[in-house]
Amino acid sequence: MAMDSINGDEDIPWMLGVFDVHNHVQQDSALVTGREEEQLEQVRTRWLALMGYNRVGWNTLESLLQLPKARHRIVVGFGIHPWAVECTLGEARDSWIKRVQGSDLDGLIPQCDNDILAACQGLEWYQDLVRLLNTYPNAIVGEIGLDRMAVNRNTGQRYDYRLQWLFFRVQWDLAVKLHRPVSLHCVRAATTFVAFIQQRVREWQQQSRGQRRSDKIALSDQFFPTAIMLHSYSGSTEVLRQIYALPDAVSRRIFVSFSETINQRSPQIGERIQAVPADRLLVETDLSRLNQVDVTISKVIRRVAIVRQWTITQVIETTTANAHRFYSMGGIGGTSSKVEDCQ
């Protein structure tokens, strides 16, 4: 197959171990209860990171984690996706919209009152999330995020951004508190995200002024999750430059993942892939169809190979090593046995 083509998966050396760092295959309607392990064995991509989307999906993830063979190939995230925020609130949605209406959206970074954040943390979904993360110390927080484009099909309107911000903030804070990585969905919100990170950097630097370098670095764990993945990255190259200009204690935590589902539509995809340091680059499918995973991950592997002028082997070895590092940067106390789970 010619290297300028990104189709096909025949030439992929699967034995090297491909890692799809973000998908939703737990939602595949073709998954048959009791046959999941057999179905997973058909997939040549060795490691799959299954990202929670809503509370129903959390149950499926929990049951997959009980499968003796599958659990060595999967890592999971528990979180509420920005598109699932409104349905998580259910009938209380409208009263919550009224409640967050006073939040300040004028600045680049929305603000939420502490009592609104505390009230949100008192809700059942949040308590469930805390319980799951405590039960599964290798699970990450995800998928969470912000989306200024997607429309709620039930209301015909964009998903309420204030509610999204509220859910993003409480889940982000929980990830920081429990020392877990986060998987972030960021659509038309990358500028807000980078402004938020820069604000946290200023707060951290202010608090650690005059401290020894090692103490300062240790304190950064109270401001940032252990690792942050910008998944299916669709923001600008400029935002990536700003991210990688942040102090090392922060920028080393930020990984960027590319897929073929959303990112392939952008002519800037090559420039973005180039702007990510080699040791922070990841590949994913973002799919919910298990039988599409291999062919789709092959495309993004080929695209990275073309853009970075790497061999296919180099792409797989590099992105898989990065993925293991990302998923092992969690766990209470900042260390984790996740890598063992993955190997």
CB of 103 to Zn ion, least distance (A): 26
143 vs 160 by CB, closer to Zn ion: 143
Distance from C-alpha of 53 to C-alpha of 83, rounded to nearest angstrom:
8
CB of 334 to Zn ion, least distance (A): 26
CB of 199 to Zn ion, least distance (A): 26
228 vs 249 by CB, closer to Zn ion: 228
160 vs 286 by CB, closer to Zn ion: 286
- Tokens describing residue 19: 């890692």
CB of 286 to Zn ion, least distance (A): 5
52 vs 330 by CB, closer to Zn ion: 52
CB of 288 to Zn ion, least distance (A): 9
Residues 161-220 that bind Zn ion (CB under 5 A): none
Residue span binding Zn ion (CB under 5 A) among the ranges 25-33, 151-159, 254-262, 281-289: 281-289
CB of 322 to Zn ion, least distance (A): 18
Residues 61-120 that bind Zn ion (CB under 5 A): none
Distance from C-alpha of 274 to C-alpha of 279, rounded to nearest angstrom:
12
Distance from C-alpha of 258 to C-alpha of 285, rounded to nearest angstrom:
8
260 vs 286 by CB, closer to Zn ion: 286
CA-nearest of 244, 142, 137, 223 to 176 is 223
Q: At what angle do helices 93-100 and 161-178 cross, to 10 degrees?
A: 90
Q: Which residues pair with 183 in a beta bridge?
A: 229
Residue span binding Zn ion (CB under 5 A) among the ranges 29-37, 86-94, 138-146, 153-161: 138-146
185 vs 200 by CB, closer to Zn ion: 185
Helix (H, G, I), strand (E, B) or coil at 158: strand
186 vs 239 by CB, closer to Zn ion: 186
CA-nearest of 307, 224, 292 to 258 is 307
Distance from C-alpha of 54 to C-alpha of 288, rounded to nearest angstrom:
14
Whether omega for the bond prior to residue 340 falls within 30 degrees of 0, making it cis, is no
Distances (CA, A) of 227 to 82, 176, 217, 260, 280: 20, 10, 14, 23, 10
Residues 286-305 that bind Zn ion (CB under 5 A): 286
Residue span binding Zn ion (CB under 5 A) among the ranges 12-20, 203-211, 250-258, 279-287: 279-287
145 vs 200 by CB, closer to Zn ion: 145
Residue span binding Zn ion (CB under 5 A) among the ranges 35-43, 95-103, 200-208, 284-292: 284-292
Say how many residues touch Zn ion, by CB under 5 A: 2
Distances (CA, A) of 332 to 7, 125, 174, 260: 41, 21, 12, 33
By CB atoms closer than 10 A (0-12, 13-18, 19+), residue 133 is buried
Residue span binding Zn ion (CB under 5 A) among the ranges 140-148, 239-247, 292-300, 332-340: 140-148
CB of 15 to Zn ion, least distance (A): 27
Contacts to Zn ion by CB under 5 A: 143, 286
